[in-house]
Amino acid sequence: MKALEGVRILDMTHVQSGPTCTQLLAWFGADVLKVERPGVGDATRGQLRDIPDVDSLYFTMLNHNKRSITLNTKSDKGKEIFEGLLKACDVMVENFAPGALDRMGFSWERIQEINPRLIYASIKGFGPGPYEDCKVYENVAQCTGGSASTTGFVDGPPLVTGAQIGDSGTGLHLALGIVTALYHREKSGKGQRVHAAMQDGVLNLCRVKLRDQQRLQHGPLTEYSQHGQGIAFGEATPRAGNDSGGGQPGWILKCKGWENDPDAYVYFITQAAVWGNVCDVIGKPEWKEDPEYATPPARLDKIKQIFDTIEEWTMTKNKFEVMEICNPLNIPCGPILSMKEIAEEPSLRETGTVVEVDHPARGKYLSVGNPVKLSDSPSDVTRSPLLGEHTDEILMEILGFSSDEIAEAKTEGAVGDEMAQSKVAAE
């Protein structure tokens, strides 16, 4: 039995942030019913398409292990069906623009009347305050949560990162909130409102930068390489380039082949505990005893020069050779892996972190499987649902609809009939 088996989730999420959360819960065994607009569905089904008329990878990679029902929650009959589903579910998750659910007539107060045990979980761009009514996408969250101002090089503009810390990061936060509320419900018998703001989620992931903001009041941030380069600090935590966020200096260094391969680099950390090994491996054994280099405080104003010297050595090796030499010496380092290398890495396939999934319309594709492994709740990744694939099944199984009642709901436009329509189109 999977950890969340028996938990039923009404999934009103779309785009990336909410779907990451419900996909994670589905991998842990929850029955996730994705509600989509009839005939339209989650906008990402059609965004960034690589194959005409086929659900995009954007959609498929965020909606595994779910069932899809199309329901017009703004029609009277659709609202009635939605109420039935709210009664039958443990959790409702949504990430609409602020106020959308209230406008549909489903405020938190109303939801508590319908099902007091329901956990109502939301992602919004911001918490209460001046921006609470704003629509928000990933990069807005990265910019307002402190990530962009602290990412990039000290002499360059703010940068967004490739890691989707605003969307997928907040989805992860919300998943924890939901599971915590479910645990609490065991004792209280009551559902509760769970809210995760993307700005807050990003800030939580940037807490070391707020740490540095406060340290700045007591002097320069000596472990930042700009300190060693004599660049003065301003009033706010600066962009730190590739400096490590902790107390052990690190940087990205060129490796053999860097001229032609954009990913021929390694992240190299000069951990104090293995400084002697670093000196030996790069051919600078004299630095071990030299008072100018022997201690971490002595090295602080020479970080750039030290990494330039280490780079002279890393440029004679490819990034994997650097790993092979440094790992046995306990020197922490990591090759810069391209997405191509990650996609082809056999060990990630073996652990299920990268999985191959088969889809009836697109065929085989790669996805990221569950990054969290539970020993008694393995995650099998099953393909994302087609639009409305489970409308009839959900209405029958969960709400006890007869075939006639389903046909009536379809005629009224309360639910969609996409599967029948696509069969007709195929013929």
Report the catalytic residues: 167
Least separation in angstroms between residue 412's CB and ligand CAO is: 14
* Two tokens, residue 180: 């915590």
Is the Cβ of residue 7 or residue 15 nearer to ligand CAO in the bound state?
15
Q: Choose which of 4, 10, 21, 35 interacts with ligand CAO (CB under 6 A).
A: 35
Q: Counting contacts by CB under 6 A, is residue 417 touching ligand CAO? A: no
Based on the shown chain and the rule CB under 6 A, indicate whether residue 68 belongs to the binding site for ligand CAO. Answer: no
321 to 259, 314, 328, 346, 347: CA distances (angstroms) = 17, 9, 12, 18, 18
Task: Report helix angle 391-399 to 76-88, nearest 10.
Answer: 60
168 binds ligand CAO (CB under 6 A): no
Q: What's the order of all strands across the beta sheet hosting 91-94?
A: 66-70, 31-36, 8-12, 91-94, 119-124, 193-197
Q: Which is nearer to ligand CAO, 20 or 270 (CB)?
A: 20
Closer residue to ligand CAO (CB): 40 or 154: 40
Let me know how many helices (H) and strands (E) the chain has, helices first. 19, 11
Using CB under 6 A, pick the residue from 135, 190, 207, 373 that binds ligand CAO: 135
Q: Which residues between 77 and 96 bind ligand CAO (CB under 6 A)?
A: 95-96
Per CB under 6 A, does 100 bind ligand CAO?
Answer: yes
Residue type, 23: Q
Q: 100 vs 298, which CB is nearer to ligand CAO? A: 100
Residue 101, CA distances (Å) to 98, 235, 318 in order? 8, 41, 54
DSSP string for residues in 84-122: HHHHH-SEEEE-PSTTHHHHHT--HHHHHHH-TT-EEEE
Query: What amino acid occupies position 236?
Result: A
Determine if 138 is a binding residue for ligand CAO (CB under 6 A): yes
Please report the sign of the dihedral spanned by the C-alpha atoms of residue 180, residue 183, residue 187, residue 192.
positive
Regarding 37 and contact with ligand CAO (CB under 6 A), the answer is yes
| 325-341 b/e (C-beta count within 10 Å ≥ 16 → b) | ebeeeebbbbbbeeeee
Question: Which residue stretch of 52-60, 121-129, 215-223, 408-416 sits at the interface with ligand CAO (rule: CB under 6 A)?
Answer: 121-129
- Please give the full DSSP string across 44-93, using - where no structure is assigned: GGSTT-SSTTS--HHHHTT-TTEEEEEB-TTSHHHHHHHHHHHHH-SEEE
CB of 414 to ligand CAO, least distance (A): 10
Label the pairing between strands 265-269 and 250-254: antiparallel
User: How many residues line the site for ligand CAO (CB under 6 A)?
Assistant: 25
Could you say which residues in the range 306-325 bind ligand CAO, by CB under 6 A?
Answer: none
Least distance to ligand CAO from the beta carbon of 94, Å? 9
Instruction: Establish if 387 lies at the interface with ligand CAO (CB under 6 A).
Output: no
> Considering the rule CB under 6 A, would residue 254 count as an interface residue with ligand CAO?
no
Closer residue to ligand CAO in complex, CB, 66/299? 66
Which residue from 16, 237, 271, 391 is in contact with ligand CAO, where contact means CB under 6 A?
16
17 lines the binding site for ligand CAO (CB under 6 A) = yes
Q: Which is nearer to ligand CAO, 106 or 251 (CB)?
A: 106
Question: CB of residue 221 vs ligand CAO: minimum separation in angstroms?
Answer: 32
The contact set with ligand CAO (CB under 6 A) reads 15-18, 35, 37, 43, 71-74, 95-97, 100, 103-104, 123-125, 135-138, 167
